[in-house]
């Protein structure tokens, strides 16, 4: 497999980031997961973390061999995340279980399989166009399909955040599966949370990701989405992967193409942030502290120089 991949999450203008995202790959398969947590206190974060972690861990467990039934893998992963969230709520005596959306995509043998619950989306872009995208499990989406409201009304509808499919809720989650989709070279898969897509027309995304290097295009798109989100911009996250059959040399991207053929057979590479506060939440070093640290190190060097 050859691909370039980029993931980024931002807090927006919120107090904390309840989005989580992860990707892992072995020689033969690639898994990407995005989750957007909901719930009081910081529990939304926990639900989202449980979702990406459960799926990543089950990938790590079986990912070194080819996954026989990708849809079953996605379903089992999402359902066990659902149970794990309920267990968490039980152990901590939470009245209301935290919930999370989840969209996960597995690529194997050039074929993509995905599943989602809630309003985090997957887009498949080909030649600068949206080839297909997931349908949100939201009230607004239903109203839109029934023709009761227009696209414009949907984007401002008071119920636009009400979703009916999610992991961790009272009911067994509604999980919708894609069809087996064969990827072509230069296809781009985008997984993102509502904070990202609500501020970005799909066409803009498709055009921006057509040829530009992902590591430049994705941050630019997120900038735009964040700006459109205004003073209360929601958390926004995006994973984008460009499928490549050839070594398309990205002029300034350097060696950013991942080729899994050179990987040992028994290795899984994972990009999943540790649970806990994001380092960027930490109070940063001030200039004075930097000077102080350097001074301290220099004086230690002096002391031991003899």
Partner 1 sequence: MVQQANHPLPAAFQLDEYCIEHQLSLGGFSIVYVATDGEGKRVAIKEYLPNTLALRSEGRTAPIIAEDHLPAFRYGMKCFFEEGRALAGLSHPNVIRVLNFFRANDTVYMVMEYEQGRTLQELIQKHRAGVTENFIRNVFTKMLNGLREVHSHRLLHLDLKPSNIYMRNNHIPVLIDFGAARQTLACDTPMLKPMYTPGFASPEHYSQRELLGPWSDIYSVGASMYACISASTPQAADSRLDKDRLVPAMVRWEGQYSDQLLETIDWCLCLNHRYRPQSVFALQKALTEPVVAPLPQPKATWLDQMVGKLKKSRNP
Q: State the residues that interact with partner 1 by CB under 8 A.
A: 4-8, 10, 61, 64, 214-215, 219, 252-256, 258, 264, 266-267, 271, 274, 276-277, 279-282, 284-285, 290-291, 293-294, 296-298, 300-301, 304
Q: Which is nearer to partner 1, 23 or 99 (CB)?
A: 23
The 10 Å CB-count burial string (b at 16+, else e) for 247-276 is: eeebeeeeeebbebeebeeeebeeebeeee
CB of 282 to partner 1, least distance (A): 5
CB of 97 to partner 1, least distance (A): 26
- Interatomic CA distance for residues 59 and 24, integer angstroms: 8
- Interatomic CA distance for residues 306 and 300, integer angstroms: 11
- Greatest alpha-carbon pair distance for the chain in Å reads 82
- Interatomic CA distance for residues 194 and 36, integer angstroms: 8
- Interatomic CA distance for residues 25 and 120, integer angstroms: 21
CB of 166 to partner 1, least distance (A): 28
CB of 266 to partner 1, least distance (A): 6
CB of 56 to partner 1, least distance (A): 13
Q: Which is nearer to partner 1, 185 or 285 (CB)?
A: 285
Q: Which residue has the tokens 């640290």?
A: 293
- Interatomic CA distance for residues 68 and 70, integer angstroms: 6
Q: Which is nearer to partner 1, 156 or 255 (CB)?
A: 255
Q: Which is nearer to partner 1, 82 or 242 (CB)?
A: 242
Q: Which is nearer to partner 1, 203 or 296 (CB)?
A: 296
């Amino acid at each position: 497999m050859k691909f370039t991949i980029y993931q980024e999450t931002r807090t927006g203008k919120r107090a904390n980031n309840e989005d989580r995202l992860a990707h892992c790959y072995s020689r033969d398969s690639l898994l990407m997961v995005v989750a957007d947590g909901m719930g009081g206190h910081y529990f939304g974060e926990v639900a989202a973390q449980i979702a990406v972690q459960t799926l990543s861990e089950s990938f790590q467990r079986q990912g070194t061999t080819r996954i026989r039934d990708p849809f079953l893998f996605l379903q089992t992963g999402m359902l066990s995340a659902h149970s794990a969230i309920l267990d968490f709520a039980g152990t901590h005596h939470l009245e209301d279980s935290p919930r999370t959306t989840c969209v996960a995509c597995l690529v194997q043998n050039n074929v993509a399989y995905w599943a989602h619950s809630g309003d985090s989306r997957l887009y498949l872009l080909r030649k600068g166009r949206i080839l297909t995208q997931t349908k949100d499990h939201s009230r607004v989406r239903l109203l839109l399909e029934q023709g009761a409201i227009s696209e414009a009304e949907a984007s401002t509808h008071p119920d636009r955040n009400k979703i009916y499919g999610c992991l961790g809720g009272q009911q067994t989650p509604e999980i919708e599966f894609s069809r087996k989709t064969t990827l072509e070279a230069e296809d781009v898969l985008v997984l993102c949370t509502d904070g990202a897509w609500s501020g970005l027309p799909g066409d803009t995304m498709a055009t921006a990701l057509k040829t530009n290097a992902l590591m430049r295009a994705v941050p630019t798109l997120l900038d735009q989405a964040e700006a459109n989100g205004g003073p209360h911009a929601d958390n926004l996250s995006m994973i984008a992967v460009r499928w490549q059959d050839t070594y398309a040399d990205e002029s300034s991207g350097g060696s950013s193409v991942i080729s899994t053929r050179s990987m040992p057979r028994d290795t899984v590479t994972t990009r999943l942030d540790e649970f806990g506060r994001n380092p960027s939440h930490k109070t940063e070093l001030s200039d004075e502290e930097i000077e102080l640290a350097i001074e301290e190190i220099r004086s230690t060097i002096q002391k031991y120089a003899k």
